[in-house]
Amino acid sequence: MVSVSSFKPNANYPELCDKVTIDWDEKRGRFIKAIEDIPLGTVVCIEEGITVNVDSRCCYRCLKLLGNDGFVYCQSCEKFNEPSEIACGEFDSLGIFKLAAHLVFSYPFAEITNLVTSDEPEVPRGLSKTLSTKDVQSVYQLKPFLGIEDSFKTKIVQEAIVKIVKLLEADANWGRLEEPSRLITFTKALRIMTERCAKNAHTIYSIEQIEKKDEDVPIGTGLFPISSIFNHSCTPNVFGFFVRNTFIFVSRGVKSGEELVDSYGVTYNQHSLKQREEFLANVSGFKCHCDSCVEQKSLEDYLEKSFKDVDRSAREASSFLNISDYIDYMKPGVQDIENLISAFSQRRDAEVYSKNLFYWWKKFIQNANYRKIVYDPYLIRPYIEMVLLTWNNDVECTVDEKLSILTVAHRLLTNFYVGFHPISELIKKLFETSMNPIDENRNLETFRILKQRAEILWKRDEYI
């Protein structure tokens, strides 16, 4: 279980912090509201979800990275009782049904079989009496996507259900049911879980994948009943990230009485109105009603593309001067300036232009400021890049400037990732030793590892 020492759990909803409550109204349904001011960097939610792997290198159940020994479970999960054929990937092609089946087996057998004699679970109108990942009633209370029922009629799903039910003959609980009864019970439970997964499940990417922009194959997918209550806004006041099977939300600065809102993948500062509308309609199936969307606000002039392919432009530029000409040509604040700087910095010959790169990373931050991106996880990379350049003595700067850049990098990582970013601990060590220099060799070793990890994280050798 992932934990944060500073986290203070809510007496009624232990996955949430003590500074929030859950409220309900006709427009939003259930939502999370601050009952006092929540400072920047405060952890507001830590929820361990019900998850399954997508990447076979991760534990089927908790998503911990495994070795190459052929096991599908880590030591902590190997006794989990579920048909091994599911865990070993035989039903991976079923997508969301794999997670739904895992949910059926994650809760007590008696509670699942009660579904057969119970009415269809209803989404509560008002506050929930119980709300916990450990309680199956919390899953039933999630809003379902009823259209998924048609998928049960496909041949591949019907064959899979029959096969899984057959496998349950040897199960200590399911095996007590006659096959027709077992088939009815499992099918109904699977449908109810699938309807809720289709509407509420989260695709899980590691922090490393997000930084690398390597999102082709997620590490897993999961259901997080508490986290699902965080509504979307294109101007969010919380920041969420995954640590394996745990979803963590951190405050960006929330005032008492405000709703806590997350971004589902698009924001006002980085996506046009059209991009936001299309993404939310296609991926999440709703229209956003945050202020910027209701008022049709969009930073079109800053977000329009200057290049058809920024990566290609950076890769094929003959020198730093070509990139400088591109940047000088573009309007300050245009997002492609940041994209071009990021792409060019990944070239293997980029180190030749270290002094210029330092200037560019500063320009990256200044450019983002035009779109009101002032203190945001988006700025972590440019600050880390400037730390690398200044501590490697590639650029001339004062000791105060060097420490100032390191301090901001440390605060960004602390306030948004509360120690879980792959570079957090190294920046913390560098920061602490710079404040009280005792062992210069320790400083140099920390910096060496930091540089090595940054090169891996941001694919420094991507371009030839």
Structural domain contains residue 21: yes
Q: Measure the CA–CA gap between 48 and 15, rounded to whole angstroms.
A: 8
Return the number of other C-beta atoms located less than 10 Å from residue 300's C-beta: 10
Q: Please, which residues have CB within 8 angstroms of residue 335's CB and are 6 or more apart in sequence?
A: 270, 302, 303, 371
* 257 within some domain: yes
| In a shared domain, residues 64 and 141 | yes
What pLDDT digit, counting tens, does each position of 204-219 carry?
A: 999 999 998 877 899 9
Looking at mean pLDDT, say which of 112-116, 197-201, 412-416 comes out highest. 412-416
Please report how many Cα atoms fall inside a 13 Å half-sphere around the Cα of residue 227, on the Cβ side.
30
Give the Cα separation of 66 and 378 in Å (integer): 30
Q: Strands 231-232, 261-262: parallel, antiparallel or unpaired by DSSP?
A: parallel
Using the predicted structure, report yes or no on whether residue 335 has a pLDDT greater than 90: yes
Band of the pLDDT at 203, cuts 50, 70, 90?
very high
Are 37 and 67 in a shared domain?
Answer: no
In a domain, 422, yes or no: yes
Instruction: Answer yes or no: is pLDDT of 464 > 50.
Output: no
- Judged against a pLDDT cut of 90, whether residue 392 lies above it is answered with no
* Same domain membership, residue 198 and residue 273: no
In a domain? residue 246: yes
Mean pLDDT of the chain: 89
Query: Are both 234 and 365 inside the same structural domain?
Result: no
The pLDDT score that the predictor gives to residue 438 is: 62
Q: Is 244 in the same domain as 137? A: no
121 and 17 in a single domain? The answer is no
Structure confidence by residue, pLDDT tens digits, 75-121? 888 777 788 888 888 888 888 999 999 999 999 999 999 988 888 88
For residue 340, tell me if it sits in a domain. Answer: yes
Does 382 share its domain with 402?
yes
What the block records as the tokens of 402 is 């060097």
The count of C-alpha atoms lying within 13 angstroms of the C-alpha of 419, restricted to the half-sphere facing its C-beta, is 9
CATH of the domain at 359: 1.25.40.10
% of residues, the chain, pLDDT over 70:
97
CA-based nearest residue to 289, from 238, 236, 234, 251: 234
What is the count of structural domains for the chain? Answer: 4
Local confidence band at 440 (pLDDT 50, 70, 90 cut-offs): low
Note whether residue 209 is domain-resident.
no
Instruction: Give the Cα separation of 28 and 305 in Å (integer).
Output: 35
User: What band does 23 get if pLDDT is binned at 50, 70 and 90?
Assistant: very high
| Residue 22 belongs to domain with CATH number | 2.170.270.10
- Assign 460 a pLDDT band (cuts: 50, 70, 90): low
pLDDT at site 311: 80
What's the mean pLDDT in 446-460?
A: 87
Domain annotation covers residue 248: yes
Instruction: Please indicate, yes or no, whether residues 313 and 357 belong to a single structural domain of this protein.
Output: yes
Give percent of the chain above pLDDT 90: 57
- Identify whether residues 73 and 164 lie together within a single domain: yes
What is the pLDDT, as a whole number, of residue 35?
Answer: 97
Which residue range is the domain that position 339 belongs to? 309-457
Residues 320 and 409 in one domain: yes
Same domain, 327 and 444: yes
Structure tokens at 410: 């440390």
Tell me if 214 is assigned to some domain.
Answer: no
Q: Which of 32-46, 224-238, 300-314, 406-420 has the lowest mean pLDDT?
A: 300-314
SS3 assignment for the chain: CCCCCCCCECCCCCCEECCEEEEEECCCEEEEEECCCECCCCEEEEEECEEEECCCCECCCCCCECCCCCCCCCCCCCCCCCCHHHHCCCCHHHCHHHHHHHHHHHCCHHHHHHHHHCCCCCCCCCCCCCCCCCCHHHHHCCCCCHHHHHHHHCHHHHHHHHHHHHHHHHCCCHHHCCHHHHHHHHHHHHHHHHHHHHHHCEEECCHHHHHHCCCCCCCEEEECCCHHHCEECCCCCEEEEEECCEEEEEECCECCCCECEECCCCCCCCCCHHHHHHHHHHHHCCCCCCHHHHCCCCCHHHHCCCCCCHHHHHHHCCCHHHHHHHHHHCCCCCHHHHHHHHHHHCEHHHHHHHHHHHHHHHHHHHHHHCCCCCCCHHHHHHHHHHHHHHHCCCCCCCHHHHHHHHHHHHHHHHHHHCCCCCCHHHHHHHHHHHHCCCCHHHHHHHHHHHHHHHHHHCCCCCEC
**Same-domain check for residues 117 and 26:** no
